[in-house]
Amino acid sequence: MNQDKSNPSLVESTILSIWEKTLGIKITSLEQNFFKMGGNSISAVKIIAEINRKLHFKLDPLDLFKSPTIRSLARVAEKQLTPYPKMEIINNDAKIYATTPLQKSFFMLEHFKREGEFFHQPKIFWLEKSDDSLEILRAFEHVLKRHEILRTTFHAEDKDVVQKIHELSEMSGYFHFWKLDKGDNFAKESRKTYERLLKHKFDLNEGPLCRLEVLKSEKQCIAFLSIHHIISDGFSEDIIVKELLEYCNRQSQTQDNTLEYDLSRALKYQFKDYAHGLNNWLGSKEGKFSRDYWLTHLNNYQKSNFPGNIHSSATDSFLAHCIDFKLGKSLTEKINKLAANNNATQFMVLQALVKAFIYSYSGIKDIVVGSAFSVRPSDSEPPQIGPYLNTLPLRDQIDAEKTFIDFLSQVKETIIMAYAHRHIPISDLVSKNGAFVSKHLWNVGLTLQNQAECLPEYSGIFDNLLEERKFNDGLTTNIWLDVIIEDDQMVFQVFYRQALFEKSQIEDICHKLKAIITQLVNDPNTTLKSITSYETIKRKIDIQLNF
């Protein structure tokens, strides 16, 4: 097989599957000529019609004659994908700017939280090369000065939510340094600090929304970064830590105690520029095209009550519990091979597996699973800090006669199109008859993380700390599956709202989910209607569940 097929783009892989199905052959290269493979004008019309139907493009059969390879045709098609919201530098004297729809949602959610509910957790890291309080403070202030979003507060104004950027000199309370006495227990004090910060309530109006606390003993120095989701995502936290450590190291190496040397690294764009560009884009022709896609995609969808007998109300608590289970290295490897053999990603396979499970478990045929997509500018260099996320409803309808392989192909196309239209905030969708599309379109969510969250380990300081956290997180959907890759195997963290479920119900769901995954990965040509019941699988296969 030619190497150019080994890593096809999402659009290329979809066109590839359409060509193979229409022409009835196995294609080995993205550069093969359509007409040299037996294509003709009739099959060209069929292929273009199928591409337009599945991917919502507006290609013409003439495009295939002008671009007769998968790669060249994909380039033509990709030009029709909705362009990224254009960023332009904006400034005003009042330092008050628009927010994104996601930030508005976080602002509203903050006002619905109850005592003991939280939606953030401190990021913990060692400060091994720097334990001087002034040095760490200067480094952290470098980061705060560099990224305006970290100096932002949020306010309700004229029935809207706006963000205000402050100068560093206007802020206080963003840094605390605690030096332990000789007899203090470092492990105990570290845990107490983490638990206190976990329960810290941010004030969106007053700030600060990004805080650093450092705990120092004679031999160790550990840092706790607390940041609200309204100004950050997971990738942003990594950027903050990376820059902080870089600045600490530079001070140690150069003995430079000023902020001046950082001015050359000022960012061209800030998150406020993205928010401005996004809001303009939403009202543009391209934005309306994407909005129409989602209205079509969600047309006539009726939310089903999975897993059944669950009646959520606005008064239910967001507090969540969590159960873990591992797939094992062998099963994880089979998922990886299944993805590679079908020009898919791990996430696509997991989406298909979860939806097949929902169908098997409940009989529901019209399924939406919520998933978070990054909307971070791919060309942003250096990387930006901000909440560059959008959670989207991935809808697939079950045809029970399809094999799992065929269903995977369908799910793959759904994800491709969601990615192409990922900038539309679902909470802002208004149907053609003027009715709002519900933002609560799913009971189940799914994310895949490339690596597990790792807390520093030292003398058992943080033993069981993640387990304790899992029983306090806030969750706004019924069930969320957070899949992480740990030691070459997939680990499912199943978060569920404790007001809606008993632990035994979720344990039953976990057992059955792993059983269905096992069956479909071992025999992906199984039709969806013939998925074996959990009880039968359990008798045939020795499933080692590790909770």
Q: Cβ contacts of residue 425 below 8 Å, gap of 6+?
A: 100, 101, 102, 105, 282, 390
Partnered with residue 124 across adjacent β-strands are 224
Indicate the pLDDT class of residue 469, thresholds 50, 70 and 90.
very low
CA angle 184, 188, 193 (to 5 degrees): 100
CA dist list (Å): 341 to 40, 276, 299, 345, 514 = 28, 42, 33, 10, 22
Q: What is the residue-averaged pLDDT of the chain? A: 82
For residues 545 and 81, give the distance between their C-alpha atoms in angstroms, rounded to a whole number.
43
Contact status, residue 130 vs residue 249, Cβ threshold 8 Å: yes
pLDDT over 70 at 437, yes or no: no
Q: What is the pLDDT of residue 542?
A: 42
Cβ burial of 4 (10 Å; 0-12, 13-18, 19+) is middle
> For 483, what's the count of Cα atoms within 13 Å in the CB-facing half-sphere?
24
3-state secondary structure of 529: helix
Indicate the pLDDT class of residue 367, thresholds 50, 70 and 90.
very high
Q: What is the pLDDT of residue 296?
A: 87
Q: Label each residue of 186-211 as H, E or C.
A: HHHHHHHHHHHHHCCCCCCCCCCCEE
3-state secondary structure of 389: strand
Q: How many residues appear in the chain?
A: 547
Q: Quote the pTM value.
A: 0.78
pLDDT over 60 at 418, yes or no: yes
Contact status, residue 259 vs residue 138, Cβ threshold 8 Å: yes
Token pair, residue 237, equals 């936290």
Q: What is the pLDDT of residue 199?
A: 82
Cα dihedral sign, 382-11-346-389: positive
CA dist list (Å): 509 to 393, 481, 498 = 22, 11, 15
Quick: pLDDT tens for 178-203.
999 888 888 899 989 988 898 888 99
CA torsion 57→62→63→64, rounded to 10°? Answer: 100
Residue with tokens 């004679």: 218
For the segment 401-409, the average pLDDT, to the nearest whole number, is: 95
Contact status, residue 202 vs residue 161, Cβ threshold 8 Å: no
The edge-to-edge listing of strands for the beta sheet with 123-126 is: 123-126, 221-227, 210-216, 175-179
- What percent of the chain stands above pLDDT 90? 40
For the segment 324-336, the average pLDDT, to the nearest whole number, is: 93
For residues 442 and 394, give the distance between their C-alpha atoms in angstroms, rounded to a whole number.
9
pLDDT over 90 at 310, yes or no: no
Q: What is the pLDDT of residue 84?
A: 65
Quick: pLDDT tens for 19-66.
998 999 988 889 999 988 888 888 888 999 888 877 778 888 888 988
- What percent of the chain stands above pLDDT 70? 81
pLDDT over 50 at 96, yes or no: yes
Token pair, residue 332, equals 């994880």
For residues 265 and 33, give the distance between their C-alpha atoms in angstroms, rounded to a whole number.
47
Q: What is the pLDDT of residue 204?
A: 95
Q: Cβ contacts of residue 439 below 8 Å, gap of 6+?
A: 105, 426, 427
Residue with tokens 């996004």: 278
pLDDT over 60 at 439, yes or no: no
For residues 368 and 298, give the distance between their C-alpha atoms in angstroms, rounded to a whole number.
9
For the segment 487-495, the average pLDDT, to the nearest whole number, is: 91
Cβ burial of 264 (10 Å; 0-12, 13-18, 19+) is exposed
Q: What is the pLDDT of residue 7?
A: 61
pLDDT over 50 at 1, yes or no: no
Q: How far apart are the first and last CA of the chain?
A: 42
By mean pLDDT, which of 81-95, 351-365, 407-421 is the weakest?
Answer: 81-95
Domains of the chain are 3-78 (1.10.1200.10), 96-274 (3.30.559.10), 287-301+322-377+385-540 (3.30.559.30)
Quick: pLDDT tens for 257-267.
554 545 446 78
